[in-house]
Structure 1
């Protein structure tokens, strides 16, 4: 099976051929995948060199002319390093682009901490109006890329697509909006984000919990979470492949009118200062199936008795 990133260039190349309004902006990383597209569309495949601030600025300039720019590099160089340009050139100017990252939280451990970005989604959360897709399989990545690049009639949406080497065994029918119900139970709700689904399903095997699958995390599907808690109870565990707790505020807001508990699991804040392998980082952050099972079970086993919540308020 190919990886999400290996799927990225062929999909976007086809879209370049199909739609003269699509452009690609690169900063050296990923250029080889667009070599043929660059020959066919030299005016719409732009490589700015190792200049990440210019990467975003160029994409914003293309957007101001009515183009739909697809901007790509590693997550740490796409969101963190040029964050001021993301905030001003795209956000303040109110133009859209599709930011497509690679390397995720720790996909290339040998690159060191400079190439890791577990805080990318949390950082984008400080800005308004971003859609965030976190596919868990290459087929889902293709679906969400097509959705993102064609988003909005005026193609002015701001979208972040987070690609990862980590992948689930099979793809699900994602639509760029809703959480999917993968398993139903009555003892709690576990939300698995993107490539965390397989580990969550293994971790919760035999546990009486509902499992929701999230590949579009912003906007957060509050309705799906509320519906799941009506049958499964209001103990909620979020399992995210980036900074732990990134979506706890969104979950708390979704359940603001009822007593509830939320546990956010994800990449921890302490820096792991040895390169290691991806699997070792997953285990060190407690995101492997055995660790998740213990953390989820311990959380559910410490439920406290509360008075009945009574009827829920209808959300505005």
Structure 2
């Protein structure tokens, strides 16, 4: 099966044929994959080289002319390094575009800490007006990208090598979906965390919500699930910085007695880079680690 990044390349290449206002801006990453599309659309597939501030600025400049730019590189080079350009060139100028990242929090540990971006969603959360998609399967990534391509807003699509075995129907406007219903609490699984959350909560009397669009946050869906339970406690399991959505979950339940536990990537830098699966386990995001913390939190 192809990866989310593979699917992004094939889908975006096809969209270039279908949508004349669409453009793809690269900073060397995935340039080989887009080579056929660049030959077909040399004026709408632009590789600026390893110049990430220029990458974002060029995309925003295209948006000012009425184009719909898809701006792509690794998450650390798309959100963190050129953050000022994301804030000013897109946000301050109030233009739309699609940022599509790869490599997630620690997908390529051999690349070192420079290629890790567990704080990308939290950083983008400091800005107004961004829709954030975190697909858990290549099919979901394709559906969300196609939906974003037809709009005019600011969208961040976070791709990863981590993925669930099964795709689920997704839409940026549909909110969180109910995967399992229970009475003792609510667990929100974001994107590629769903399979591990389902394994971790097997046999537990909890509701599991699946989130592929985390901004805007589906406050009503969380409130509905928590209100139907015997307590309104919520666990948010995210594939990036732990606690990124805890405040949003708390605000959704502010007039109900509740507790919120945010699980995700810790702040400590893991200097023995190892493999992606080892990072997952070290951060307690494997089924065993999740079950221990979820049961400990929800225990009466």
CA distance in 2, matches of 1:244, 1:56: 27
Match for residue 163 of structure 1? 159
CA distance in 2, matches of 1:2, 1:30: 14
Match for residue 206 of structure 2? 209
Match for residue 221 of structure 1? 218
Alignment of 1:64-213 (within 5 A): 64-151=64-151, 155=152, 157-177=153-173, 178-213=175-210
The structure 2 residue matched to 1:292, chosen from 290, 293, 297, is 290
Report the Cα offset of residue 258 of structure 1: 1.1
Question: What is the number of equivalent residue pairs in this alignment?
Answer: 298
Report the Cα offset of residue 12 of structure 1: 0.4
CA distance in 2, matches of 1:139, 1:158: 21
Report the Cα offset of residue 235 of structure 1: 0.6
Mark the structure with the bigger radius of gyration: 1
Runs (5+) with no aligned partner, structure 1: 304-316
CA distance in 2, matches of 1:288, 1:228: 24
Report the Cα offset of residue 176 of structure 1: 1.2
Any idea what SS the aligned residue of 1:98 has?
strand
Question: How big is the alpha-carbon RMSD for the aligned residues of Structure 1 and Structure 2?
Answer: 0.6
Alignment pair present for 1:280 and 2:278: yes
Alignment of 1:1-20 (within 5 A): 1-20=1-20
CA distance in 2, matches of 1:298, 1:148: 39
| 1:82-133 CA-partner distances (Å, limit 9, x unpaired) | 0000000000000011000000000000000000000000000000000000
| 1:123-160 CA-partner distances (Å, limit 9, x unpaired) | 00000000000000000000011111112xxx2x0000
Match for residue 262 of structure 1? 260
Report the Cα offset of residue 6 of structure 1: 0.6
Any idea what SS the aligned residue of 2:25 has?
strand
Any idea what SS the aligned residue of 1:33 has?
coil
CA distance in 1, matches of 2:92, 2:171: 28
TM-score by length of 2: 0.99
Match for residue 251 of structure 1? 249
Any idea what SS the aligned residue of 2:122 has?
helix
Match for residue 309 of structure 1? none
Alignment of 1:53-68 (within 5 A): 53-68=53-68
Report the Cα offset of residue 293 of structure 1: 0.3
TM-score by length of 1: 0.94
